[in-house]
A and B are shown apart, each in its own frame.
Chain A
Amino acid sequence: MSLYEWDLVMPARWVGAANYRALVSTEFWEVVTNTVKYSVGVVVLSQTLGLGLAVLLNDRTRLGALLQASIFSSYVVSWVAVSLLWIWLLDPQYGLVAYLLRLVGLRGVNWLGDHRWALWTLVLVTVWKTVGYPMVIYLAGLQAIPGDLYEAAALDGAGGWQRFRHITWPLLTPTTLFLMVTLTITSFQGFDIVKIMTQGGPVTATMIYVYYIYEQAFQYFKLGKASAAVVLFFIGIVTLTFAQWLVFRRRVHYTT
């Protein structure tokens, strides 16, 4: 379909590679850069934060469970429900965030309306919403590590940080790889947050790949162009996923 021009109603017209040419000569590269920035930001931040939270919450107390549930709750809520709330929170005029910043004497930024900040704001909001997932997975992974390993290490005089580096981290590498792959793939598919909060704006600052495809297909009815974008997306992700997998699987330790 990527080689035709089609708007769903009129019969498709063969245009050869014109779609690809049109695609690459517009703001396409900005979309790709945005998507990569967004994805890297989300994956790195949510995984690190998720791991940190899991480590801190790794006690089976009631309080721990309560905290876990509250952190996970944002993952479960749908975007529509919290989107306007975030738009209010981030309003530079009367949002809570601006208010709190003013309290400590800092001037807030136009989080969603400034094209320099908008994408990173979306990264933060995404991390806020999804950090519960890596946290839960890491928690489970942590609790699968046999306690005797830690005891042995403590007996050998290893401190907290060393225990983490030599026991926890290596044994968590399968989990880490799993999360990295999953989060990368899902962040590349990021759509809802953009649809609801910024619709790709301001201008094209938050135009990420899937939203771009959606806009081409649904708002401009250029299905051929959208399909071309999908094909390129495929090539990109396959390469990336395989690269990730090949590079990292050698560093993965299995307990078998």
Chain B
Amino acid sequence: MRHALAVLMIAGFLGTAWGAAGPAAAQGPVVAQFWYSFGGTNREVTEAHIKRFNESQSKYKIEGTFQGDYFEALAKIRAAAATKTAPAAFHVIGEAIPQLAASGLFENLEPYAKGVNGANLEDYLPGQTQHTYFDYLGKPAAPLMALPFFRSTPILYYNAGMLAAKGVKVPATWDELRDAAAKLTVREGSETKTYGFEVPVDWWFWYALLHEAGGSLLTPDGKKAAFRDKGTEALQFWVDLVNKDKTMKRPPGKDYNAWTVTNTDFINGRAAMIFTSTAFLNYMTENAKFKLGTAFLPGKVKQAVPTGGTFFVIARDAPPAQKEAGWAFIKWMTEPAQTISLSKATGYMPIRTSAVNSPEMQAFYKQNPNYKTAIDQLRTAQRFPYTPALIEIQREVIQPNLEAAVLGIKTAAEIMQAAEAKANEILAKQQ
């Protein structure tokens, strides 16, 4: 009777399947989903805030769900959007906003912001908001679609102990960085015990260097690529540090894997100075066994940094009641009280001017001056061109090709030239 048993089991599974599915339709608070794509401490902090939100009012109930890493989550969201089951709220990286907006994924938030449960858009820190993140290239600004969530800038972290021991002062320019890295590198025979400098060979940092060298990504009208010369300079800087001076370590792995290695190397004293996000400040502070210092990124022609992190967005195809719940949630998350607690728990920057100026944060900054670096550095924040091509340029044109120069497979000039051609191709398709 084995086959009968098998059939029964299958029926049983399908039955449980149906049973385990839909929750009973809720009377009471409107339930909406918030999909996020991080685990660990950020997840815990977020879930704690979701809980607080749910407890603070009885009209809406937000359910937070982990959806894998950023790309897995985005793929799921797109698939969900295609079947009209997108979550009410989720978050995206800034560079992806133009393209996703063009696909009609986002709800226009302006009516909400101006409505009954509106938000005081004036109070948001310059550099944090959608309108100050993007350069609209001379065209009218895109409607408000995103509120800042976890936002960051890259900063220079340094091992104060090592610098003091070698009498090196904190570098403020590229040349000073080069010198400092040379002085801080420790070699034993053919082995490098400590690298003076390390940074993930990543679009974000390249973008900073590009602007520090006085360049920009696209022409002011956004129609053509403009990064070739200064981009080459930026990339060449890394190439020289790694291959000529041999004072910089190139962390292996792509995307966040390289970031993790960089952070770990710094904590372990394998690298004296690194560039990475202010988002890791909590982690560094807790785990560094040495005196930790932070500073602005060294500049060349000028000082410049991109901002990073993610923005809250609402899915246009979600049911209206859920969208309302989503809005209530994200608005609440960006209120001063919440941005203070989020920032203190993670190291991401607070996004409200009133929060930064509040007595609580001022006292906190006095005690922990490292946290103030990113905020101060915002005045050198660079904008990103608002074009659907942006994310493609980042992920297909620049990001995968930076490595080849540092590895010595191609020259920086060759890479930037090819990149320029490809970027122009993509931009041309947009017109």
Contacts and interface: CB of A to CB of B under 8 A. Distances in A.
Interface of A: 7-10, 84, 87, 91, 93-94, 102, 107, 110, 112-113, 115, 197-203, 217-221
A7 B388 CA distance: 13
Nearest to B102: A10
B253 A219 contact: no
B418 interface: no
Given A93-B249, A197-B253, A9 B78 contact: yes
The number of chain B residues touching the other chain, given as a range, is 20 to 34
Interface of B: 71-72, 74-75, 78-79, 81-82, 100, 103-105, 190-192, 249-250, 252-255, 257, 260-261, 268, 270, 392, 395-396, 400, 403-404, 407, 409
Contact of B78 (A200, A219, A220, A221): A221
Contact of A200 (B103, B254, B270): B254
Contacts of B392: 220
Contact of A220 (B253, B255, B396): B396
B407 A199 contact: no
Contacts of A199: 253-255, 257
A125 to B, nearest CB: 14
Contact of B81 (A9, A93, A198): A9
A9 B403 contact: no
A235 B191 CA distance: 48
Given A87-B261, A93-B249, A115-B409, A9 B254 contact: no
30 contacts: A8-B79, A8-B81, A9-B82, A9-B100, A9-B105, A87-B252, A87-B257, A87-B261, A91-B252, A93-B270, A94-B268, A94-B270, A198-B253, A199-B255, A199-B257, A200-B254, A201-B253, A201-B254, A201-B403, A202-B252, A202-B403, A203-B403, A203-B404, A203-B407, A218-B71, A218-B72, A218-B74, A218-B75, A219-B395, A221-B75
B252 A217 contact: no
B100 to A, nearest CB: 7
Given A94-B270, A217-B75, A219-B71, A202 B407 contact: yes
Most-contacted residue by chain A among B255, B260, B400 (CB, 10 A): B400
Most-contacted residue by chain B among A9, A87, A94 (CB, 10 A): A9
Contacts of B79: 8
Nearest to B401: A203
A113 B250 contact: yes
B369 to A, nearest CB: 31
Nearest to A220: B396
B190 A198 contact: no
Most-contacted residue by chain B among A10, A107, A219, A220 (CB, 10 A): A219
Contacts of B404: 203
A219 B261 CA distance: 22
Contacts of A93: 191-192, 249, 270
A94 B249 CA distance: 13
A184 to B, nearest CB: 27
Nearest to B396: A220
Contacts of A112: 252-253
A93 B192 CA distance: 7
A200 B78 CA distance: 24
Contacts of B254: 198-201
A9 B252 contact: no
Contacts of B403: 201-203
A87 B253 contact: yes
B409 A107 contact: no
Contact of B395 (A110, A197, A203, A220): A220
Contacts of A107: 190
A234 B261 CA distance: 37
B252 A113 contact: yes
Contacts of A200: 254
A102 B193 CA distance: 14
Contacts of B82: 8-9
Nearest to B74: A218
A10 B252 contact: no
Given A10-B103, A115-B407, A198 B78 contact: no
Given A87-B253, A113-B250, A203-B407, 13 more contacts: A8-B75, A8-B78, A8-B79, A9-B100, A9-B103, A10-B103, A91-B252, A93-B249, A110-B252, A199-B255, A203-B409, A219-B395, A221-B75
A78 to B, nearest CB: 15
Nearest to A108: B191
Nearest to A207: B400
B96 to A, nearest CB: 10
Most-contacted residue by chain B among A110, A197, A218 (CB, 10 A): A218
A110 B260 CA distance: 18
B184 to A, nearest CB: 15
A218 B78 CA distance: 10
Contacts of B75: 8, 217-218, 221
Contacts of A110: 252
Contacts of A197: 253
Contacts of A91: 252
A199 to B, nearest CB: 4
